[in-house]
Structure 1
Amino acid sequence: MEGKRLVTETRSKARHRRRRKALTAGLPLALTAAGTMAYGSVLGAFGEEDVSGTDIASSYGDYARGNVFSGASGRPESGGTAFAPKAYYPYTLDQAADAPGLLKSAAGHGSSIGTTAATRAAAVTTLTVAKDGSGQFTSVQKAVDAVPANNPSRVVVSVKPGTYRELVKVPSNKPHVTIQGSGASRKDTVIVYNNASGTPKPGGGTYGTGGSATVAVEADDFQARNLTISNDFDEAAHQSLDGHQAVALRTAADKVVLDGVIVTGDQDTLLLDTASKDRLGRVHVSNSYVIGNVDFIFGRATAVIDRSVITLKKRWNGTSAGYITAPSTAAGRKGILIANSTVNGDVSDRSFYLGRPWHAGGDASLDPQTTVRDTTLSAAVKTTPWTDMSGFSWKDDRFAEYRNKGPGAGGASGDRPHLTDAQAADQEIADWLAGWTPGA
């Protein structure tokens, strides 16, 4: 269009050279100074409905073609040809899947001013995983193994669509790792295994609950995006096994981001832990699905589940009965906060508790905490939503609601405590994150 031609004509070749990465990606970053852009309305790459009943868009947002430029300055000529970058330097088009990273790397201000897109991109290393051999690695674990010990900057393990039946561990000496599916949907890339607590280990003994995890994260500043992490242990086929807890994802680290993911299993799906009892372990889950039936969000981490869907699942024998959270919070720390989310599932009405206190190992010094606020609760939630565990009363710990809605919500009572407005002001997401900005 004419406005776009005018913008390019008023640019110098040097400025185009600095911004060619953004231009060739089809992004409007290099053109923002010329005027205001209006985006067309299309469904974004991560905006599809993943789990029945709820549509969650990833925090990447939507991307649209057909930009419209207005208020462009410059000489209003009607003749001549538009600036052609290829006449001055070679370039190749970037892949559409790289658009989110390019957009983020080229935006902002401060230290990025005066640097090229190539310089900014150099700070991020990308390792590609593909089952068909078209990437650098054929398994996720092999890519993680290639990350240097004490890695100082972000390494993105980009995993092409496919089902990867393997165990993945990110050890504590490999921080700043992102495992990210490169498909159009979080369902396209799946990491799955089927160990349970009672599964025999090759060298003797059993895995135990924590050891059953399909993906185990022990490194700080870890991120998982746009993929599914699953434990598909078959309880019905292994009734003789002692220990059916089967973890899909275990985190024992600080500053963990889970964005646009599905974490699915049955009992003990998502273990949010810390490296030790005296260590802080903050986790931020957003735009995601967590699926399970018994204590399937548990551990001692300081964890936020925000703008997500918690899906309740029937037991192996078709019955509906379960518990969503089982916090084992250390005294003086924050526990599990569920905010701005939805609790639903194809289960019987009044069959699930919101949570119960897990005093791991009978440790009476723990002070478990779950707060559920500003969340839509289905009729599956019990009218008395908290219960005791292993001889410890929930009333001696910290369990509360605030401003929930839906058929599973209920008024305040002795069996259903609600926060006051003043109490709720001290139980915001920012209080849990304690100065940390996820993804920054």
Structure 2
Amino acid sequence: MPVYARRRLQAMLDDLAPLLTVEKAKDLLARLEHKNVKDALAAEVELSLLWSIQQVADLQIDPVLADSSARPDALTQTLFPRGPALIEITAVSDDAFSGRESMNRAAEIIGHFCNGHRKRSASHLYYRFMEGRERIEGQMRRVRRISKDFELTPAFEEKLKAWVSDPDWPNPPSLRLTDEQIDVVIEWRKLVHPEGRVFSSMPPVPDHLEDNPVYRTLRTKERQLSKSEPGLLRCIFIGDAGCSMLRDLTPLGGYQVSGEQVIHHFLRRSKVDLVCVFSPYRNWGIFMAPGSNTPKWRVTLFEREPRTDKGAEYDRLNRMVLGLPQPQLEGYQARSWHRQGLFNPQGKGIYLGTNISWKGGGTNVSISISSRMILELLAGRITQEQFQHFAFRGQSDNFFEQQLKSGLTIQAARLDKGGLDEDDDTLVFEFEPDWGAKPLRNPKT
């Protein structure tokens, strides 16, 4: 699910406040601010879709049903003309399916051991996990060669210690560890980003209609709707929080099971009436105008019993989708940015860009720059070198210095608000020639 600016999230919370119990508000807030990426993005899916339903239809959040143990996410009487509907909202990512958790766990164990024998050596280690094939339920399946219970054996410890302790390390530049728990090639690299230190040749794509995160999530949500009263539509809204199966529901190539096939398979075996997939996407093309590939919503509806007259049936659903604020990122990008801590309100900000314009034959200059960046510079949170890099895209020229050197000083300044969809504003500085910053002129010349 795309990340919205924190300003937008707060506005959604405020709009929903009359419908939230104290406990529900506290729960949503705790999950939105959670360090766990899965929890944070799932909460954002829930908040944004509840908010969008409330814009076009009546809404009860966490309604109490006849069976008091059943608390679906939403009940609406008017979103669908054919009757009231119970809605469960969820989000799916590739994390568990990609083996990333197991790979990162193994990388942490190996890196910690290596640091004990050569300081900061783990920061240079890149891990390539191999794949194999196993017979599972009578079918040959691709498997990632890493166990979720991996531990270093004495033989591995001896091998790693000899490698990182060698005076000529990294020579050789790679080392392979393999047994029944793991098969990984560990490479030394000058620069390794923490978010990109693990890789597997086996992509997070399914080869089974039921052994995949989308099907398992739908089954879980179906159980939460199983106690619903007769006459209520049962609906599942599912968001792409970095899930390749939802990002591309019908991929090219026949070797993998598609998200579309999985959802149809689920509905044929389910009492759920419809599944609605929300995924951000970009249009990519060679001849696209600048800015035309900003993320947009792709919403796909799947029905257990397809209806012919969908115009009136889904009018409000269409209006709900159109009313959703545009996504800032695609799902996989949002997941990566969250992991890097880029949405920590007290971390380094996500800055608006710097723009410079000239008028009056170049004597009048306007510089528009991130107000958050300037605040962090004044607060001592970033250095002058970092400011130069962020503000001027790594260029050696400091444009403020250029104006002062040319005898121009700030004659006016204003704040341009970034709005709800940006967590930053811009400070606009107007420069004009100033005799206080340039040599005096001979008036007779």
TM-score range, shorter chain: under 0.3
Q: Using CA pairs under 8 Å that are at least 6 residues apart, name the structure with larger relative contact order, 1 or 2.
A: 2
* Rg comparison, structure with higher value: 2
Pick the structure with more helix per residue: 2
TM-score (normalised: structure 2)? 0.23
TM-score (norm 1): 0.23
